[in-house]
Chain A
Amino acid sequence: MSEIATDLPRPQAASVVTEGGLVRGLLVTVAIVFLALFLVLPLVTVFVQAFAKGWDAYLAAFREPDALSAIRLTLITAAIAVPFNLVFGIAASWAIAKFEFTGKNLLVTLIDLPFSVSPVVSGLIYVLVFGSQGLLGPWLIEHDIQIIFALPGIVLATIFVTFPFVARQLIPLMQEQGTAEEEAALTLGASGWHAFRTVTLPNIRWGLLYSVLLCNARAMGEFGAVSVVSGHIRGLTNTLPLHVEILYNEYNFVASFAVASLLAGLALVTLGLKSLLEWRYAGDLAASGRRH
């Protein structure tokens, strides 16, 4: 069929999907202007503002104990939330992709919940459960356990808003790969754990890395949910995004943008690594990109 087609005069460029040159140019221009206005300009502004009073002022923003404490808290939060969601995400996608059980659809829906709920609401839920006026409040006070306005609350809120990332990425990937390779490993005498380490994990490694990257970026950058449960105690319960807001509200623009530039930098690095993964391992990332 294709042989015949090549002998025929090609239809003019104006096929169904190819608009005329003018329309095309217009659309591209609109897209570029939009991107410049809403993405590039703000990003540049962050760095311009951060360096408005020179290097010394920029660096001074990080010498402040409150800033250091915010960085530490953000790192600790991510260091707990990301591995937790890594394990949870693998376990959930394993169960969903490789087994049949009742309630499977419900589980899939629940995994998506954090994407559809406003982060502020998710924060509030934790306050209502663990806060001093909350459901478990009296019991927690009695046992001298502090969750809200402390690290545990911040970690919980962060885990909640970031938990779809890993599972969402891995479920289609694992579904596509099926169970044949694992079954082959088992018949060859491998234990379940050995098969997981030597067969399943290598098959999902790039998808996993990709999702961990995005999960981490969100964990470090989360504002809404964390803001509700943190209580904004300076030097104690402020994460980087909260610290940025406080500095800004105090009209300390240079310090505010300096700290913000750290988050912007994280975003750029994440974006770069993400593109690298997408370019290098496209076939291993998405189920649809696979050849067989």
Chain B
Amino acid sequence: MTGSTAIRVETLSKTFDTAAVLHDLSLDVRAGELLALLGPSGSGKTTLLRIIAGLDFPDRGRIVFGAEDATRLPVQQRAVGFVFQHYALFKHMTVADNIAYGLNARKRADRPGKSEIKRRVGDLLDLIKLSGFADRYPSQLSGGQRQRIALARALAVEPRVLLLDEPFGALDAQVRKDLRRWLREIHDRTGQTTIFVTHDQDEALELSDRVAVLAKGRLEQIGTPDEVQEAPVSSTVLKFLGDTIEVEAIAQGGEVRVEGRLTPVTAPAGLVGPVKLYARPWQLQFAESHEAHLHGTVRSSYRSQGRQRIEVDRPEGKTVVVEASDTARLPAGRAVGLRILAGHVFAG
């Protein structure tokens, strides 16, 4: 289903007033894929999405749709579907009129007939499972329902790309989860090229075909969820994708040592000398002192999503978090050793 390039973003730069928001950002979106734009707040995700939509214009760089240069194309002619974080439904129109808006806005020659519009609206309401809601007003709907209407409204014009800016950002955790799965289903059914902005790693990793990680207006990495998780190209990507432990280490000849003891982590060729080793909480294990890489005392332990996490204070003052399934209760103050099972190293 995914294949040729649907949208090409070329060396895009954008400055607001004096603050540079996007720097030479390039990115390809494949036809039919669901691409997540992931990045911390202020990294330029919304700005990029708005430039692709034609709601904002870049200072430099190009937006290419298929073979057509769309950089200066007005928003109306881009045929994008945009879904806003706060829905932006037309308050004074019924659900049906909201969904039909794009069709009704067309010039008479291109406008489908009344009965055809009605049929399309009905089909879309079925798709989003809100069939009985055609005559309601947005104020009579829940947040999740509103966002589904907003999606149907965007799909009604058969856009060549669907752009969603934190569509579930204003909803509570349970509704978010349901809608995530639902969006994936809709995407699988329609094959609609979709770009999806989020600053929630789980959402991006669970939902998308590929993830583009943005930081400070630059593209850090783009790849499948597995690729970015297993082979992050920078500590920024790694840290942003989940909780990490940061440890001083020494690399030499591909080997990485922590406190003089060899770890199973390998360093890329050319990385020599003092480096930083990053590991996830579940890539550490309690170990006897003679085979441990790190030492410390237990500060506290707590449960997070069904797993036991233990905070360990290291002598030099840093605290690391370990996730373990096999722990007998560890009282606070107990001296423990930790062994590193896996991780990544980057130049410190």
Contact = CB atoms under 8 A, between A and B. Distances in A.
B153 A183 contact: no
Contacts of A191: 76, 105
B80 interface: yes
A194 interface: yes
B55 A185 contact: no
Contacts, number: 62
A188 B53 contact: no
A290 to B, nearest CB: 10
B157 A189 contact: yes
Contact of B53 (A181, A187, A189, A199): A187
B164 to A, nearest CB: 12
Contact of A203 (B84, B91, B106): B91
A187 B75 contact: yes
Contacts of A203: 91-92
Interface residues of B, number: 26
Interface residues of A, number: 16
A183 B91 contact: no
Interface in A158-181: 180-181
B346 interface: no
B88 interface: yes
Nearest to B50: A183
A202 interface: yes
Nearest to A180: B88
Contact of A186 (B76, B86, B150, B156): B76
B101 A188 contact: yes
Contact of B55 (A183, A198, A199, A202): A183
Contacts of A199: 90
Given A180-B88, A183-B88, A203-B91, A189 B105 contact: yes
A186 B77 CA distance: 9
Interface of A is mostly: helix
A187 B105 contact: no
B170 to A, nearest CB: 10
Contacts of B81: 187
Nearest to B105: A190
Interface string B85-115: 0101111100000000110011000000000
Contacts of B105: 185, 188-191, 194, 198
Q: Which of A180, A183, A188, A189 has the most CB of B within 10 A?
A: A188
A183 B78 CA distance: 13
Interface string B141-174: 0000000001001101100000000000000000
A184 interface: yes
B57 interface: no
Contacts of B154: 187-188
A180 B55 contact: no
Given A180-B88, A183-B88, A190 B101 contact: yes
B82 A187 contact: yes
B55 A189 contact: no
Nearest to B153: A188
Contacts of B53: 187
B90 A181 contact: yes
5 contacts: A185-B105, A186-B55, A186-B76, A188-B157, A203-B91
Interface of A: 180-181, 183-191, 194, 198-199, 202-203
Given A184-B82, A190-B76, 12 more contacts: A181-B90, A183-B55, A183-B84, A183-B88, A184-B84, A184-B150, A187-B54, A189-B79, A189-B157, A198-B105, A199-B90, A203-B91
Instruction: Give 5 nearest A-B pairs by CB, closest first.
Output: A188-B102, A180-B88, A190-B105, A187-B82, A184-B88
